[in-house]
Amino acid sequence: MTQSGPRRRMRSAGITLGLTALVAASLTGCSNNDDDQPDYAAICVDPETQQRADDDKCKDDREYHGSGAGFFWFYMATRGGAFVPPIGGRYNTADGSYSSSGLRNAGGGTATIKRGGLDTKGGNIGTISRGGFGKAGKGSSGG
């Protein structure tokens, strides 16, 4: 009778350690891989007011060189902890570029760019949504 008590504790500790290792391995497998992130993310902006606009107003990938009117893509590096402004918010022109022609990746090669798709409420530029199940999905059942 006196030996059953310690055995239960050892088995319980073994199960706890096994579950902890399993959860840690699962979380590691789900973490973001920086290699999958584009080098730059573009937000649609109005250069006259320096405010972010809805992505629908930027219809193509025209570049802006300080002249012209309308809305243009503004390219921000996804690495380095930059924050994207919300729609209607002012962006910092020092945080990016209007021109994609000089953008390079970390190795000096051609940069990958994601245009649009950033949180309309602003936030961390490193969290780019990549699809998923969606927020407004409609379920259906077979019958």
pLDDT in tens, 8-62: 666 666 666 666 665 555 554 444 555 578 999 999 999 999 999 999 999 777 7
Distances, alpha carbon 54 to alpha carbons 43, 109, 136, in Å: 8, 30, 19
pTM beyond 0.85: the answer is no
Please, which residues have CB within 8 angstroms of residue 135's CB and are 6 or more apart in sequence?
Answer: none
**Residue from 35, 32, 65, 29 nearest 47 by CA:** 65
DSSP state of 112: P
